[in-house]
Amino acid sequence: QLQLQESGPGLVKPSETLSLTCTVSGGSISGSSYYWGWIRQPPGKGLEWIGSIYYSGSTYYNPSLKSRVTISVDTSKNQFSLKLTSVSAADTAVYYCARHWVAGAFDYWGQGTLVTVSS
């Protein structure tokens, strides 16, 4: 059974960089036709797609966040990561990692991790 697990600091200061890692177990992040994505959900609000990456390193970002987002992959560790720069309180959210196929649905999700932006 495929499992995804987010990890990283739960508190980030304004203007700093948010960094999260998603560790994939029960399957390989390489090969096949799957992509690996990040989605976030501010408290009490809806879901927002942040971006996705293919194991080869090809990346796709939400145009509204593109200038601040970098997603990378480490196939040797079966992990992919998110960096979001210049954060503000508006970036406070539960961050989820998930798997999807090209143009398709997100079928496996991590449990999510709350990141709070505050001084």
Partner 1 sequence: QSALTQPASVSGSPGQSITISCTGTSSDVGGYNYVSWYQQHPGKAPKLMIYDVSNRPSGVSNRFSGSKSGNTASLTISGLQAEDEADYYCSSYTSSSTLVYVFGTGTKVTVL
Q: Enumerate binding residues for partner 1 (CB under 8 A).
A: 35, 37, 39, 46-49, 52, 60, 62-63, 96, 102-107, 109-112
As measured in angstroms, the least distance from the Cβ of 107 to partner 1 is 5
Q: Distance between CA atoms of 93 and 20, rounded to whole angstroms?
A: 12
Give the CA distances from residue 4 to residues 14, 21, 37, in Å, rounded to whole numbers and listed in that order: 28, 10, 11
Nearest CB to partner 1, comparing residues 59 and 85 = 59
Beta bridge partners, 19, equal 83
Nearest CB to partner 1, comparing residues 16 and 42 = 42
Nearest CB to partner 1, comparing residues 11 and 47 = 47
Query: Residue 72 corresponds to which tokens in the numbers above?
Result: 């990378």
As measured in angstroms, the least distance from the Cβ of 13 to partner 1 is 26
What CA dihedral angle connects 16, 114, 91 and 37, to 10 degrees? 100
33 by Cβ neighbours in 10 Å (0-12 / 13-18 / 19+) ranks as exposed
As measured in angstroms, the least distance from the Cβ of 49 to partner 1 is 4
Nearest CB to partner 1, comparing residues 10 and 46 = 46
As measured in angstroms, the least distance from the Cβ of 11 to partner 1 is 19
Token pair 């406070």 in the structure block, residue = 92
